[in-house]
């Protein structure tokens, strides 16, 4: 009984932190980014100085706690992982790493640059290069979020099969994910530039990965 309670509390916490993380991810990509495209320079400086730091704090720590509670849930199940949870958890891990190793470090440069401008100082010249790096990683996380959420649910309710029985399919799916992650680090936004593009791409990626796990 005690183990069941702890397992449920870990699951509840994982969902709660995950909602906070992904909700803010969608806010950044679907609302804030589009607003900044139309806002006056003074409004952007003010938002980056006061609004963005608060949102980014919740964003990165929600990602951290989602990741930690996910590990807690995965640990006792590591010998019986499904193909779905393997692909989904891998994508979630990459998303977590993107937050802490790419998005937050580059957004920190942008925030501090705007705070300097708001205080009457000069903008940090590194901010111009930091912005597209953070944007691409954030768009990639949005792309990953759709299939990741699908696989988190399907692992229990519509599994494609065991890890051992789907090894070839899992490796192909992970190779696609790895290629997209490489693009997040070294490539360009391409179809992820627009909100419509990233949403459509997310569902297309979901369909492709699901087809691979079911048909190969």
Strand positions, DSSP E, the chain: none
pLDDT attached to residue 78? 66
This prediction has a pTM of 0.95
Residue with tokens 């691409």: 136
pLDDT band at 130 (very low <50, low <70, confident <90, very high): very high
Instruction: Return all residues near 51 (Cβ < 8 A) that are at least 6 apart.
Output: 32
DSSP string across the chain? -HHHHHHHHHHHHHHHHHHHHHHHHHIIIIIIHHHHHHS-HHHHHHIIIIIHHHHHHHHHHHHHHHHHHHHHHHGGGGGG-BHHHHHHHHHHHHHHHHIIIIIHHHHHHHHHHHHHHHTT-PPPTTHHHHHHHHHHHHHHHHHHHHHHHHHHHHHHHS---BTGGGHHHHHHHHHHHHHHHHHHHHS--GGGGSHHHHHHHHHHHHHHHHHHHHH-
pLDDT attached to residue 81? 83
- Euclidean distance between CA atoms 110 and 55, whole angstroms: 14
81 against 211, higher pLDDT: 211
Burial category of 153 from C-beta neighbours within 10 Å (exposed 0-12, middle 13-18, buried 19 and up): exposed
Residue 64 vs residues 10, 15, 17, 78, 185: alpha-carbon distances, Å: 14, 13, 9, 20, 20
> Is the predicted pLDDT of residue 1 greater than 70, yes or no?
no
Residues 99-121, mean pLDDT to the nearest whole number: 97
pLDDT band at 3 (very low <50, low <70, confident <90, very high): confident
Query: Lowest mean pLDDT: which of 130-139, 153-162, 169-178?
Result: 153-162
pLDDT attached to residue 6? 87
What tens digit of pLDDT does each residue of 166-200 get?
899 999 999 999 999 999 999 999 999 999 999 99
Q: What percent of the chain has pLDDT over 90?
A: 87
Residue 33 vs residues 37, 38, 115, 139, 204: alpha-carbon distances, Å: 7, 9, 18, 11, 23
pLDDT attached to residue 195? 97
pLDDT attached to residue 4? 87
pLDDT attached to residue 85? 94
pLDDT attached to residue 124? 97
pLDDT attached to residue 2? 79
What tens digit of pLDDT does each residue of 40-63 get?
999 999 999 999 999 999 999 999
Residues 16-44, mean pLDDT to the nearest whole number: 97
Residues 16-34, mean pLDDT to the nearest whole number: 97
Residue-averaged pLDDT of the chain: 95
Residues 105-129, mean pLDDT to the nearest whole number: 97
């Amino acid at each position: 009984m005690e183990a069941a309670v702890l397992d449920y509390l870990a699951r509840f916490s994982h969902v709660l932190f995950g909602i906070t993380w992904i909700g803010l991810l969608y806010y950044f990509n679907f609302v804030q980014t589009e607003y900044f495209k139309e806002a006056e320079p003074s409004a952007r400086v003010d938002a980056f100085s006061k609004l963005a730091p608060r949102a980014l704090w919740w964003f990165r720590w929600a990602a951290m706690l989602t990741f930690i509670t996910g590990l807690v849930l995965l640990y006792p199940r590591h010998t019986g992982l499904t193909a779905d949870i393997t692909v989904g958890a891998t994508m979630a891990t990459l998303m977590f790493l993107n937050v802490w190793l790419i998005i937050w470090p580059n957004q920190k440069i942008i925030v501090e640059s705007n705070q300097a401008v708001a205080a009457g100082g000069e903008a940090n010249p590194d901010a111009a290069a930091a912005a597209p790096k953070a944007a691409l990683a954030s768009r990639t996380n949005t792309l990953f979020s759709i299939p990741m959420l699908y696989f988190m649910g399907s692992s229990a309710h519509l599994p494609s099969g065991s890890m051992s029985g789907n090894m070839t399919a899992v490796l192909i799916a992970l190779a696609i994910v790895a290629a997209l992650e490489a693009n997040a680090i070294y490539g360009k936004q391409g179809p992820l530039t627009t909100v419509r593009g990233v949403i459509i791409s997310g569902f297309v990626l979901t369909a492709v990965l699901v087809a691979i796990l079911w048909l190969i």
